[in-house]
Structures are given as C-alpha cells and as structure tokens.
Amino acid sequence: MLRGKTAVITGGTRGIGLAIARCFAENGADVALIATRRSESAEANVTELASTGRRVKLYVCDVRDNAAVERTTAEIAEDFGRIDILVNNAGITRDGLLPGLGEADINDVIDVNLKGTIWVTKAFLRGFVKQRAGVIINLSSVVGLMGNSGQTNYAASKAGVIGFTKSVAKEYGRRNVRCNAIAPGYIATDMTAALSEEATEQIAKQLPLGRLGKPEDVAALALFLASDLASYITGEVIAVDGGMYV
Ligand code: NDP
C-alpha cells in the first residue's frame, strides 16, 4: 500500500510509533524514525524493522527544539530524498491534579505534544508544498476530545493538536497536502504501563469493546490514512478507542 513511499515517524522507537513504523515498512515504505535517544532497545527495533528489506534509520532529535528539528529534517531529506508521509507521534504525559502541576509539568507536555508537532510539521511542510503532495498524521487522544480529570495539561495539548490539524488541512488542501488526526483511547504501551492491573481491568470493563487497544489497532488506521485509499479525507479526527468516546 505504501510501496515507493518514505515516511518520517516521531517517537517511532516504542509503543504506537513503533507499531506504525513496522506496519508502514511491511507495506513497502522506507522509514526515518525520530526519538530522543539511541537506546539499546531503540537500535534493536531499528534492526528488526530493517529486516523487512526497507530502508530504516534512526535520528536523535528532541522535537521541543525547533533548531534541532530543522537540522534533522535537512539530514533526513539528504539521506532519503523525497518524503511523502509525516507521523507526529512523539508524546508524553505528566499527570496530576491541576494545583499540583508544576511549571515544568505543563511546559514539557505542551512543548512536546503540541509545539513539537508544530515544529516538525512546519519543517516538512515546505517539501510537501513544493512537491504538491504530502500526508500528515497527528496523534491526538480521546482525552483531547472529552477531557480527563488529572490530565488538564495533556488534554489541552491534545485538543491543540486537533485545532492545528484542521487548520493545516484548510491551509494546504489546495497543495494536495492532507492532514488528519488519530485519537486513541487506552492503548497498552509504556505510557499506560503505570496503571495497576486492577485499574486496567476497571477501564476495560467500561469500554464497549471490553479491552484495551493494541498499538497495532492504531497502526492500521495510520496505514489507511497514509495510503491513497484516504486520498479524499482531510481535517478529520478519527478515534481508535474501543468505543470509549461514543
Ligand atoms: P510511548 O511513551 O510508548 O512512546 C513515546 C515515544 O515518543 C518514544 O519513542 C519517545 O522517544 C518519543 N518522544 C517522547 N518525547 C520526545 C521528544 N521530546 N522528542 C522526540 N521524541 C520524543 O508513547 P505511546 O506509544 O503510548 O504514545 C504515542 C502517541 O500516542 C503519543 O503522542 C501519545 O500521547 C498518543 N496517545 C497514546 C495513548 C495510549 O494509551 N498509549 C492514548 C492516546 C494518545 P524516547 O524513547 O527517546 O523517549
């Protein structure tokens, strides 16, 4: 479905980003991954992805740092040439009730989730506009749609991603650049690993589909949105949440 395409995936070394990278590579895309570190497990995942026969490379870059994002974008363009797909997946949580959130808890979450998405999009958009083609997929969250107690900072960042997605879709649709957001519910990754077994069971019980999501559930939608099957879809926010936000 993505043969001959090149995708850039931020936070592609773990969790949902890794599942998207695997799914894209299995479907014929070369992938450039961005993460904050070159850990042993990140390197092992890159090696595993490359076993699909596709070109895979990891770039260390903090998406909060606009100058570093610009440098990394130039490096990726030099290594891979044309980029077709950008997935803004890097994200963090710093949960707590609002009075207890420190400045860093608020700044970090907004800086990575929202501003990071803006910096990376801005950097790759130039190429997309020039080639009159590009696909952008932003990872929001159902929390950005419905809010969540204990996640005011995170919900604000993810709601911001939705406004950003719709605006990019309007601003660049005429240049054949599509921009959509995915709003996952509870997906089993490092991000949700802190939940106790009891809390996880409680959440699963309340979901219409009765289970937490897997990273692969999200990757399947990302593949569809990245492919030409979605060539008339832009500015949408699609939930992958087992019915959580019905
Ligand atoms: P993980 O915590 O498993 O992985 C996060 C990834 O983002 C890592 O690869 C990490 O890289 C990267 N990252 C974090 N900060 C930065 C940064 N400053 N610069 C570059 N890369 C960074 O997260 P998930 O896979 O669970 O989540 C992926 C996305 O989906 C996030 O945007 C999240 O908010 C969203 N989401 C997740 C849900 C869930 O239930 N899991 C639900 C709803 C939305 P490194 O390893 O180097 O730290």
Q: Is 131 in the pocket of ligand 1 (CB under 6 A)?
A: no
Between the CA of 42 and the centroid of ligand 1 the distance, in Å, is 13
Nearest atom within ligand 1 for CA of residue 185: 42
Domains of the chain are 6-188+215-238 (3.40.50.720)
Tens of pLDDT, residue by residue over 40-73, are 999 999 999 999 999 999 999 999 999 999 999 9
Smallest CA separation from ligand 1 atom 19, residue: 62
CA distance 92 to 11: 10
What percentage of residues in the chain have a pLDDT greater than 90? 97
φ, ψ at 58 (rounded to 5°) = -100, 135
Smallest CA separation from ligand 1 atom 21, residue: 35
Q: What is the dihedral of CA 232, 228, 180, 174, to 10 degrees?
A: -50
Predicted structure pTM score: 0.98
In this model, does residue 126 exceed pLDDT 90?
yes
Nearest atom within ligand 1 for CA of residue 15: 25
Using DSSP, state whether 181 is helix, strand or coil.
strand
Among residues 128, 115, 10, the alpha carbon closest in space to that of 61 is found at 10
Tens of pLDDT, residue by residue over 150-201, are 999 999 999 999 999 999 999 999 999 999 999 999 999 999 998 888 989 9
The yes-or-no answer on residue 154 being catalytic is yes
